[in-house]
Amino acid sequence: MESERIPRSGIAYICVSTLLAGFVVWLSLRTEIAGSSPHWIWFAVILACSMAAEIYPVVSLAFGPSQVELSVSLALTFAVACIWSPLPAMALVFLQTVSGDIITHKSLTKIIFNATLYVTVIGGTSLIYHYYDVAALGFLEGRNLLALLLAAAYYVVSEWIILSGLFAVLEHRSPFSVIVSFIRQTSLNLAALLPLGAVIAVLFRENPLVFLFLAPTFFLLYYSLKREQMLRSQTQSILEKLVDVLESKSPETARHSKRVRDWVVVICEDLGMESSVTDTVIQAAVLHDLGKVGLDDSLLRKPGLTADEFHQIMEHPGVSAGLMEGLTLFEEGRSIVLHHHERYDGNGYPDHLKGDDIPLGARIIAVADSFDAMVSVRPYRARSLSITEAVGILEDEKGAQFDPALVTGFIKLVRIRVDKGDFSNFPVGVRV
């Protein structure tokens, strides 16, 4: 878990999670479990492998500024919980987490929470598995299969609940909504890693040396997950190069898109949105005016427009979306770009969507886009509006042009910037 600052409520939650980990350790000491104890060589080998995997995460999930990372070490720790009794399993995951967090320079509170989280998860997983496990049966026979399924269910659910509780406290969100987000973002990775952990446990029980032959599997899994992220990054890079073309054509429009992007970043953080959604909205913010690249230069600088010329400009969301057609990794972003000129009351364009039917990302961009346009110098206006005037128009358009809740939150963010004297994301010469 990563976070810039942890409030008192977060510290209190970490203290509770530490007590929960202590309870799991106490329960392990009090319960007679028949799980095996590791040879020190294999303990060291698996510890080294899991530390290496932990240092290089494959997925980062976020809700606002708070983040959590997922690595292929999950498969190893689940296997360890099924192979060894709770105490050595907890000792391994404790050393793995603390060492990895120290190497990656995490703060003390983060180290404590991460360590207690995985002690609770792995300790409970091992307790459940070995409580139901029958040594005389095969790994997947009868009651042993039930033990494996219950252990996997505990692993997933306990991690989701503990993490979502902290995120809910830090970001002031509903725990249920955070859990739903975790399920959406991690299900595919868990579906791949937990069965791999079960396979490792089976093979390790038969012959520990087989574990060494699984190392290439971990590398390939890591590579495939990182490759997906790389493809997303490359898609974004290609699209942003098109924005560079727009910048050479209309520098002011390009600077406008970058300011809109920066406003969108702080709005998404304020809303505590999950990382995958935030990334898509930010990308859409950068590209929302991409369709203007096909417009005549004189049209973009013309003070007054005819009805036909205005109609041409109204087509730019569709042109922007058309340029992104076929980019499957950016399909959601394409929809946001297409609808960023819809109005909350249904009188926008191109599809006259209304209220929550408009994608959230499009509603966010609409607020940031309009505000920056109002406080910027434009050919169709003798002078830019002041920040106060622009805020007043946003207030007046609540429920008409804009999502009321987003306007309220955005105005709060603008006033915080102004009170601090931070005008870094305003046009040069902006008036308060």
pLDDT score, position 393: 92
Q: What's the rounded mean pLDDT across residues 230-236?
A: 67
Q: Which residues contact 10 (CB under 8 A, 6 or more apart)?
A: 3, 109, 166, 169, 170
Q: What's the rounded mean pLDDT across residues 410-415?
A: 92
Q: What's the rounded mean pLDDT across residues 135-146?
A: 74
Specify the long-range contacts of residues 341-347, CB closer than 8 Å, at least 24 apart.
341/314, 341/317, 341/366, 342/366, 343/400, 343/401, 343/402, 344/399, 344/400, 344/401, 344/402, 344/403, 344/404, 345/399, 345/400, 345/401
**Poorest-pLDDT segment among 186-200, 344-358, 398-412:** 186-200
d(CA 38, CA 46): 10
pLDDT score, position 294: 63
> Residue 2: pLDDT above 50?
no
Percent of the chain's residues with pLDDT above 70:
76
The SS3 of residue 289 is coil
pLDDT tens-digit profile of 372-400? Answer: 888 887 665 567 788 899 999 999 999 89
> Residue 355: pLDDT above 80?
yes
Residue 340 contacts residue 288 (beta carbons within 8 Å):
yes
Residue 42 contacts residue 80 (beta carbons within 8 Å):
no
DSSP 423: -
Q: Which domains does the chain have, with CATH numbers?
A: 8-213 (1.10.1760.20), 234-420 (1.10.3210.10)
pLDDT score, position 139: 66
Under the banding of pLDDT at 50, 70 and 90, the label for residue 295 is: low
Closest by CA position to 289, among listed 251, 326, 327: 251
pLDDT score, position 357: 92
**Averaged pLDDT of the chain:** 80
User: Which two structure tokens, joined as six digits, stand for 87?
Assistant: 């105490």
> Residue 307: pLDDT above 50?
yes
Closest by CA position to 162, among listed 38, 292, 19: 19
